[in-house]
Amino acid sequence: MSTSLEQASAEVDRAEEELASQRRRPGARSAPVPQQRRRTLRTRWRRDRSLVLMTLPAVALLAVFAYVPMLGNIAAFQQYSPYAGFLQSPLVGFSNFARVFTNPAFLNSVVNTLTITVFQLVFYFPVPIVLALLLNSVISPRVRVLVQSVVYLPHFFSWVLVVTVFQQILGGAGLVSQTLRAHGYSGFDLMTNPDTFLLLITMQSIWKDAGWGIIIFLAALSTVDPALHEAAASDGAGRWRRMWHITLPALRPVVVLLLILRLGDALTVGFEQLILQREAVGAEVSEVVDTFVYYQGVVYGDWSFAAAAGLVKGLVSLALVMGANKLAHVFGESGVYQR
């Protein structure tokens, strides 16, 4: 936890210094506090208590629904039974974790998760970049706005809806199969075919979120000074050379950052998307760590085993985020907190 949080605190310190220097500047702050008089805790409390009070409802909600469950991970070290509860269930040390690491279904779910992550990194990740470059080269603002508002839209659809629409188009009774059959070809059912499942979920992800993904790249592109392009053009650089030497370097920081964030999130792949389609294609290809935890715990009632698997995932993800953050620093980027 320390890296990101240290960075956060460094960020906070920097902001505080900035504020302090503003305060020292005469007239910048209207109520300059004399430097030599240290404010006591009491005056600070009197000054800031409404600010503290404002955060309390949110802090209370997080305390109950985010921090209390963190303590609930104690179930991973117990033989938890809902009737005995946390206090009465016997402690069993690390035996649940031993079961997790020797469970072939769990290992299969890890393999599936990583396969999906890598596959999407290769086939999904570049799509928004290419779309953004294409859209950025469109001159007419009207066309740009129209295309943007259409491609952003599916991001706001639910996964149930996206999967339903895909089923109606690409399923066994879907539009494409119907059309093929009507013309004498044989139809196909992409929705229940385990062999093409990776392709299917990547297509769904692209349809839903690739459009929304371009927003950040467009923002990065809009900060490029047109004078750079003009200068390069007058020096004889063609369209493609300008893209290579001006446009793409402007995208580099964003690309590196998003890539690293995705790596840090490697164990998290669309949970709702996958659980919706698990029955149709079978657990062999669609079981990921998150769905494994859900089925073992909530469906089969093996609470401690599922909690252990979930805790392993949480801790590995934390390590990955931190590692990714380190990597960001190696690349000279600002890291996770400032994204």
Partner 1 sequence: MSTGTSESTAPAAVTAAARRAGVGPSSPRRRRRPAGRPVWEEPPSRLGLALKGLVLVLVVLAVAFPLYTVVLTSFSTQAETIRTGGLVVVPGELTLEAYRQILSGGVVTRAAVVSVGITAVGTVLSMVVSVMAAYGLSRPGSLLHTPLLFVFLVTMFFGAGLIPTYLLVSGLGLIDSYWALILPGAVSAFNVLILRNFFMGIDGSILDAARIDGAGEWRILLRIVIPLSGAVLAVVALFYGVGYFNAFFNAVLYINDNAKWPLQLVLRSYVLQGVALPGGGDPTSSVSGAVAGLPIKMAVVVLAVVPILLVYPFVQRHFTKGVIFGAIKG
In the region spanning residues 144 to 173, those forming contacts with partner 1, defined by CB under 8 A, are 146-147, 149-161, 163-165, 167-169, 173
Contact partners, residue 333, CB within 8 Å, separation at least 6: 253, 256, 257, 260
Q: Does 123 bind partner 1 (CB under 8 A)?
A: no
Least distance to partner 1, CB of residue 94, Å: 17
- Judge whether 260 and 333 are in contact, CB under 8 Å: yes
**Number of residues in contact with partner 1, rule: CB under 8 A?**
124
Q: Does 118 bind partner 1 (CB under 8 A)?
A: no
Site map 312..331 versus partner 1, x via CB under 8 A = -xx--xx--xx---------
Between 116 and 254, whose beta carbon lies closer to partner 1? Answer: 254
CA distances from 80 to 96, 285, 292, 293 (A): 11, 30, 18, 15
CA distances from 49 to 15, 43, 46, 55, 56 (A): 20, 10, 6, 10, 11
Selected from 229, 243, 263, 265, the binder of partner 1 by CB under 8 A is 229
Q: Does 67 bind partner 1 (CB under 8 A)?
A: yes
Selected from 202, 205, 310, 324, the binder of partner 1 by CB under 8 A is 310
Between 107 and 161, whose beta carbon lies closer to partner 1? Answer: 161
Selected from 26, 34, 57, 184, the binder of partner 1 by CB under 8 A is 57
Instruction: Determine whether 225 is exposed, middle or buried from the number of CB atoms within 10 Å of its CB (0-12, 13-18, 19+).
Output: exposed
Can you tell me the distance from the alpha carbon of 153 to that of 137, in angstroms, rounded to the nearest whole number? 21
Selected from 120, 198, 204, 211, the binder of partner 1 by CB under 8 A is 211
Between 114 and 261, whose beta carbon lies closer to partner 1? Answer: 261
Instruction: Determine whether 52 is exposed, middle or buried from the number of CB atoms within 10 Å of its CB (0-12, 13-18, 19+).
Output: exposed
- Judge whether 4 and 321 are in contact, CB under 8 Å: yes
Identify residues 230-249 at the interface with partner 1 (CB under 8 A): 230, 233-234, 238-239
Q: Does 45 bind partner 1 (CB under 8 A)?
A: yes
- Contact region for partner 1 (CB under 8 A) — 54-62, 92-100, 115-123, 194-202? 54-62
